[in-house]
Amino acid sequence: MDDLERLVKVMVGLEGVFMGAPIEERRVALILPEENDGLGVSTVQINDMPGWEYETAILDANAARPVERYHTIAEAEAGHLRWVEASTTLVSVIRLGGWGGAIPDTEFKLQRVPRPGQEEVSHDAEAHTGAVDVSVPVRGHNH
């Protein structure tokens, strides 16, 4: 585990401190992986990215991967629906970075959560990939 991964684990552990409210209270919309062919979509209110109010993440077998940020709840709701629709064919995503560039945008191959009775997904599948599904425009970069 590199320093960046350690930092992310610490930040996730401090979520309540950073965000000020449990995720359930900040949730705009959620579809779980088991309800959506192995990939979930979660949209929540955030306060750790200056200039952005909401964020959508794709939930795969390994992690939550932030993919788009928004200024308004209307944008967040529309973005959530776009990602739910796109998630049926997604193979990889660009996980948005943050904290003033301390965490770079990174492309990840997605690992769908197996359905009950399906073969388990390897958790070392964090492999980077050169392919990206461009059916959903990537917005919300904080470059």
What residue segments make up the domains of the chain, in order of their start? 3-109
Helix (H, G, I), strand (E, B) or coil at 74: helix
Q: What is the pLDDT of residue 47?
A: 87
Summarize pLDDT for 22-64 with one digit per residue, the tens.
Answer: 888 999 999 999 999 999 999 999 988 888 999 999 999 999 9
Answer for the pair 95, 106: CB distance below 8 angstroms, yes or no: yes
Q: Say yes or no to pLDDT of 82 above 80.
A: yes
pTM tops 0.75, yes or no: no
Contacts (Cβ under 8 Å, ≥6 apart) of 79:
43, 54, 56, 68, 70, 139
